């Protein structure tokens, strides 16, 4: 009852004085000193000093290439106005006991930051109660610092666990934090749109340009991009093509043809910005034709396995970002375009005509992308 009465007097006095930045003290500021405690003339039972903690999740503004992004950062402060010490017990032993308790609270903050960084749900009421339970357990087991051996045991255990969370060892507690670089890790996307093929070289007099649609799936690892897809189009043979094939009667009735491509590409993402990307690529695929017999049936025409080379470009029209302290996750709706050449040689046509097919595709892409963030070195406040 006595402790409860004194604690509420301190709380009431604290409410009469406006809170300032100097009354909040972060763990990264260095070891505790008695200046971080308000003086009292007596203890509360066996408790000769007390630390009041503030655990919270703050939203920060991070700057990426001049664009501000929001992040969530777990923070832990000591309220210097609410923390107190009996002036008769300002000993190094008592200060060391409080420092271990502060380290334990900082360990709890780092664990909370890990939950935030990995996308876990955060129930602040639960984590605040858990912090209170952890610190109270330490206080009772060490008999409020009187059992120095138990304090040493807790100190070693807490330090070992803190060092195991090295990326979160020091929180700068600052308003802004500059991201030095965004490093892509992986992505997946589905692309769909329309395309066109124009035949050049000796094939130019055989086939008219073809128009159709394409769809493909792609995935990347770091900057390596892999894609697999189809192009399905419609076109027609030109009159001169009758002289270039074995079965003249079949082609004579073929006013319409279907163009089918299957391809596998590999590319390296050379430019990767938040708004757009550019990827040169090479690949291999099968280019084939189906001929209309004129009676509603179709027959196989010439087919050719061929190499291809080109450029893939994406412009991100919509970018839904989920930003963590070490990662950036993006859901992207992009305008997608490809321009590439295929090198053809149809061996089943008379004269084995060779040439280059010029391909262009324009459409949309829906994808997910995860990147790693590298922060610039900053100074402590």
Q: What whole-number distance in Å separates Cα of residue 244 and Cα of residue 351?
A: 7
And the tokens for 179?
């991201």
For the chain, 381 residues long, give each residue's pLDDT as a single digit of tens. Answer: 444 444 444 444 444 444 444 588 888 888 999 999 999 888 888 899 999 999 998 877 766 555 666 678 888 999 989 999 998 899 999 999 999 999 999 999 988 888 887 777 788 889 999 999 999 999 999 999 999 999 999 999 998 888 877 654 444 444 445 666 778 889 999 999 999 989 888 777 777 888 999 999 999 998 899 999 999 988 777 765 555 555 444 444 456 778 888 999 999 999 988 788 999 999 998 888 777 665 555 666 667 888 999 999 999 998 887 766 677 888 999 999 999 999 887 776 656 677 888 999 999 999 999 888 776 554 443
Nearest C-alpha neighbor of 79 from the set 130, 128, 21: 21
Q: What pLDDT shows up at residue 140?
A: 93
Q: Which domains does the chain have, with CATH numbers?
A: 2-173 (no CATH), 181-375 (2.40.160.20)
Q: What pLDDT shows up at residue 37?
A: 93
Name 73's bridge partners: 58
Q: How big is the chain, counted in residues?
A: 381
CB 227 within 8 A of CB 281: yes
Q: What pLDDT shows up at residue 14?
A: 43
Q: What stretches of 293-347 adopt beta strand conformation (E)?
A: 298-323, 327-345
Q: What pLDDT shows up at residue 117?
A: 77
Going 174 to 179 to 185 to 187, the CA torsion angle's sign is positive
Q: What pLDDT shows up at residue 273?
A: 82
Residues with Cβ within 8 Å of 135's Cβ and at least 6 positions away in sequence, in order, are 51, 53, 101, 104, 105
Q: What pLDDT shows up at residue 257?
A: 77
Q: What pLDDT shows up at residue 253?
A: 46
* Displacement of CA 72 from its chain's centroid (Å): 14
Q: What pLDDT shows up at residue 329?
A: 83
CA angle 257, 263, 266 (to 5 degrees): 155
Q: What pLDDT shows up at residue 298?
A: 60
* Eight-class DSSP state of 115: H
Q: Using N-to-C axis directions, what is the helix angle for 124-141 and 148-163, rounded to 10°?
A: 140
Q: What whole-number distance in Å separates Cα of residue 187 and Cα of residue 196?
A: 27
Q: What whole-number distance in Å separates Cα of residue 329 and Cα of residue 186?
A: 10
What is the SS3 assignment for 289?
A: strand
């Amino acid at each position: 009852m006595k402790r409860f009465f004194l604690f509420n007097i301190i709380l009431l006095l604290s409410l009469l004085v406006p809170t300032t930045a100097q009354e909040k003290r972060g763990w990264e500021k260095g070891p505790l000193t008695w200046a971080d405690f308000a003086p009292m003339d007596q203890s509360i039972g066996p408790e000769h000093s007390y630390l009041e903690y503030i655990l919270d999740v703050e939203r920060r503004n991070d700057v990426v290439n001049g664009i501000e992004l929001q992040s969530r950062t777990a923070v832990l402060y000591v309220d210097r106005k609410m923390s107190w010490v009996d002036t008769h017990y300002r000993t190094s032993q008592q200060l060391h006991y409080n420092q271990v308790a502060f380290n334990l609270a900082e360990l709890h903050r780092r664990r909370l930051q890990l939950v935030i960084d990995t996308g876990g749900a955060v129930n602040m009421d639960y984590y605040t109660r858990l912090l209170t339970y952890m610190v109270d357990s330490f206080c009772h087991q060490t008999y409020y610092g009187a059992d120095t051996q138990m304090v040493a045991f807790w100190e070693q255990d807490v330090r070992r666990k803190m060092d195991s969370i090295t990326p979160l060892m020091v929180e700068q507690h600052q308003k802004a934090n500059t991201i030095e670089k965004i490093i892509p890790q992986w992505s997946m996307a589905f692309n769909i749109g329309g395309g066109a093929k124009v035949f050049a070289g000796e094939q130019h007099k055989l086939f008219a340009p073809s128009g159709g649609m394409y769809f493909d799936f792609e995935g990347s690892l770091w900057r390596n991009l892999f894609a697999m897809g189809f192009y399905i189009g419609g076109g027609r043979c030109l009159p001169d093509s009758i002289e270039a094939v074995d079965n003249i009667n079949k082609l004579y009735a073929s006013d319409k043809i279907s163009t089918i491509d299957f391809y596998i590409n590999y590319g390296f993402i050379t430019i990767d910005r938040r708004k757009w990307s550019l990827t040169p690529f090479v690949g291999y695929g099968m280019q084939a034709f189906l001929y209309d017999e004129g009676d509603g049936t179709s027959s196989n025409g010439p087919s050719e396995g061929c190499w291809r080379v080109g450029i893939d470009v994406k412009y991100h029209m919509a970018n839904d970002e989920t930003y963590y302290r070490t990662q950036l996750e993006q859901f992207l709706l992009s305008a997608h375009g490809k321009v590439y050449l295929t090198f053809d040689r149809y061996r089943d046509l008379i004269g084995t005509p060779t040439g280059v097919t010029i391909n262009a595709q324009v459409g949309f892409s829906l994808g997910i992308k995860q990147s790693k963030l590298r922060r610039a070195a900053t100074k402590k406040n």
